[in-house]
Amino acid sequence: MKKIEMEIKNRINQLDVVAFDIFDTILTRTVNPESIKKIWAKEINRQYRLTKHNSEFYQLRFELEAKMCKENQQAGFDLEFNLEKLFSRIAVHFNIEDQNEFIETCIAQEIAIESRCQVIDEDWLAAIKKIKKDYPNVKIVCISDMYLSKKMLTQILSNHGVFNLLDDIFVSSETLLTKRSGKLYEHLITELEWIPERILMVGDNKVSDFENPQSLGIIAYHIDRTEQHQQYDKWNKTITDDYLKKEIHKILKSHHDESFENIAASLYLYIEKLYNQLKYNGVEDVFFLSREGEFLKVLFDYYQASIGVKQINSHYLIVSRKSTFLPSLKALDIENFHNLFRQYIHMSVAEFLNSLNFVTSDIEELKNALEINFDKRINDFPNSKEFKLLKENTLFQTIYETNRIQQKDNFITYVKSYGVDLNKGLHIVDVGWKGTIQDNIYNILDNEIRVVGYYTGLVASGNAMEHNEKMGLLFSLYPEKTSNYIIYSENRALFEMVLGASHGSANRYINKQGKIEVELFNKEEEKVLFDTVVQPMQVEICKRFKNLNNLLLNIAYDDEVVEKVLNSIHAQLVFFPTEKQLKFFEKMYHYENFGVFEFSTFETNTTKGFADKLKQYRLFIKQPVSYLGNSFWPLYKLYQNDLAILSKIYQSARYLQLKFRKLT
């Protein structure tokens, strides 16, 4: 491009118009040009689910393009088509209900992909700025053989910050006449009354940008982009399924001195599925629930920003089972506390009252009014005499009803403070496993607002129903078991640990002059764990997540190819962990602030005596499913109990199971 600056300088006094080709002249692509269409097909097909495989959708586009070109040629035009009309044809082909919305989405996606897969020629930029400054009477235009509309090209060049340097754009898709045939030049000369000898055409195509304009008397300059075209061919041959697998494993290479940083694989898969599901559902606002949602929101915001189209508004809602439980309840005479007792049946009176968010002064007042032990943990608390006496107490009834109504009003005010139209539904994101907080929120909103939950995984439906919908995007047992359930359900605690938050758990909602403040319950031990263990790991996970995104965003592939690779990486973490990964859990702990109020730890003892080991072997042989099923991570339980032989047998069985099901 340096030479063209001299060419223009030598001829500038003879010129009225300097015209440039666009692609491979002022813009070069970072992918093979046809890959733009394939990437577009991948992203649109994910959002609309039109064909089983992304490659099938691309093939349909390819065939429709050829058909439209032929039809236009038969009508007396050149072999060309208009992309917006192509998108309209696709909408008709698939009986898309809102065709205008579909076309707009397709256009926005095409523009975004083109923009992020292009780089501007800096030499051209410098040359044009100089011409604009020194020779303001010379018009600078672009003339392109391209299926994109003028409006789309304008947006792309605006995205690169160079459209303001141009006086106009002329594109073959608008007239269905091309530079390739020479008819577009003839049309412009006649229509705009240009003098051919006072036009300079610059481009990379020997025929379209050099020989054809010269034959009409236009001055032409050919830019040699042979190396760039050779690079396109190389990329086209290089990027295969095997290449993708190899590059993913480079990013997520297993290191023996790490813990669980490679969970970036499954988190990437989840965020990708989340984004496409939200797009499919037409969601405009989504709420990430604390605390696991804090890091998920960071990943989601990065992912959707990288795509480059209109973003879904993401919000962070500070909630917990405890903070949403009381306001979700009914009047005492009809409330059975099912959502508490389905998980916690053995508890003390104090633990029950704490679960209801009673403040210390209220609990002390009740202690004085009732002659029962508040601290003793009671088996089958729902059927105990202590629970019966509590419910019959008028002071308890008054405190319960006052707090319930107050917290319900405060929570609704809190949600509405985000300015989201709840008539469009409340869409929430959380780690999983039953969606209890979602059930609470649905009840707080009196079952009048549609609530939809998007989880990493579901192991039960909770109170899911028609307007209280739940989906496990990574794995699920509901409404049916997903094929990869055995991989991702193996150690669900891993997700909870890795997705730790920088703040404490939501306790209650306080109304201060009409503004809601969320009172947090902070445990110093949890803060220390986050600062020293979890956050450093999240930083590394984020790096790998971004590297994965940089690799996969601008490559076309069928989703099942990559999903299988990412499945295998997670399977490695939970079925074939390193010694360090197993020891990682020894330093982890979690404070339960609902139902029971205590720390859960993952301490182990790998120095058991022969008698203890024998006992554990017998328990396993007697009921292997129950023995492992009651643990949060089966392999870790075997490690805890120093059962090395059983560990190897278990791993071998899982390996065969995964291979038989072709999950990895």
Q: Which two tokens stand for residue 531?
A: 């600062």
**Angstrom distance (rounded) from CA 642 to CA 639:** 5
| CA 299/CA 305 separation, integer angstroms | 10
Residues of the chain with pLDDT under 50: none
Q: Which residues contact 162 (CB under 8 A, 6 or more apart)?
A: 26, 120, 125, 128
Closest CA to 584 of 633, 545, 617, 550: 633
Alpha-carbon torsion 200, 204, 209, 212, what sign?
positive
**Can you tell me the distance from the alpha carbon of 507 to that of 520, in angstroms, rounded to the nearest whole number?**
5
Q: Are 314 and 282 in contact (CB under 8 A)?
A: no
What pLDDT, on the 0 to 100 scale, is given for residue 608?
Answer: 61
| pLDDT value at residue 501 | 94
Contact present, 581 and 573 (Cβ < 8 Å) = yes
CA distance 120 to 106: 24
Q: Who's near 41: CB < 8 A, 6+ residues apart?
A: 54, 55, 57, 58, 61, 556
203 phi and psi, to 5 degrees?
-170, 175
Contacts of 552 (CB under 8 A, 6+ apart): 244, 268, 562
CA 551 from centroid of its chain's CA atoms: 15
Give the pLDDT confidence of 477-523 residue by residue, as tens digits.
999 999 999 999 999 989 999 999 999 999 999 999 889 999 998 88
What gap in Å lies between CA 415 and CA 382, rounded to an integer? 32
By the 8 A CB rule, do 520 and 605 touch?
no
User: For residues 16 and 189, is the Cβ–Cβ distance under 8 A?
Assistant: no
The DSSP symbol for 608 reads: -
Look at residues 542, 518, 584 and name the one whose alpha carbon lies nearest to residue 295. Answer: 542
- The answer to whether 201 touches 179, Cβ cutoff 8 Å, is no
Q: Which pLDDT does position 9 carry in this prediction?
A: 72
- Containing H/E element for 113? helix 99-116
CB neighbour burial string for 581-620, b if at least 16 within 10 angstroms, e if fewer: bbebbeebbbeebbbbbeeeebebeeeeeeeebeebeeeb
Residues in the chain: 664
pLDDT digits (tens, 9 = 90+) for 309-362: 999 999 999 999 999 999 999 999 999 998 899 888 999 999 999 999 999 999
Q: What is the pTM of this model?
A: 0.93
Contacts 24+ apart (CB under 8 A), 652-659: 654/486, 654/571, 654/575, 655/575, 655/576, 657/486, 658/486, 658/487, 658/571, 658/575
Beta bridge partners of 470: 453
> Tell me, what DSSP letter sits at residue 23?
B
Q: Output the CA angle 560-565-567, nearest 5 degrees.
A: 90
Please tell me whether residue 395 adopts helix, strand or coil conformation: helix
What is the C-alpha separation between 287 and 178, in angstroms, rounded? 49
Cis preceding-peptide flag for 479 (omega within 30 of 0): yes
**Distance, CA of 70 to CA of 587 (rounded, Å):** 68
In one-letter notation, the amino acid at residue 63 is E
pLDDT of 599 reads 61
Backbone angles phi, psi at 553, to 5 degrees: -60, -45
How open is the CA angle 302-276-660, to the nearest 5 degrees?
Answer: 105
Tell me the sheet residues that pair with 465. Answer: 468
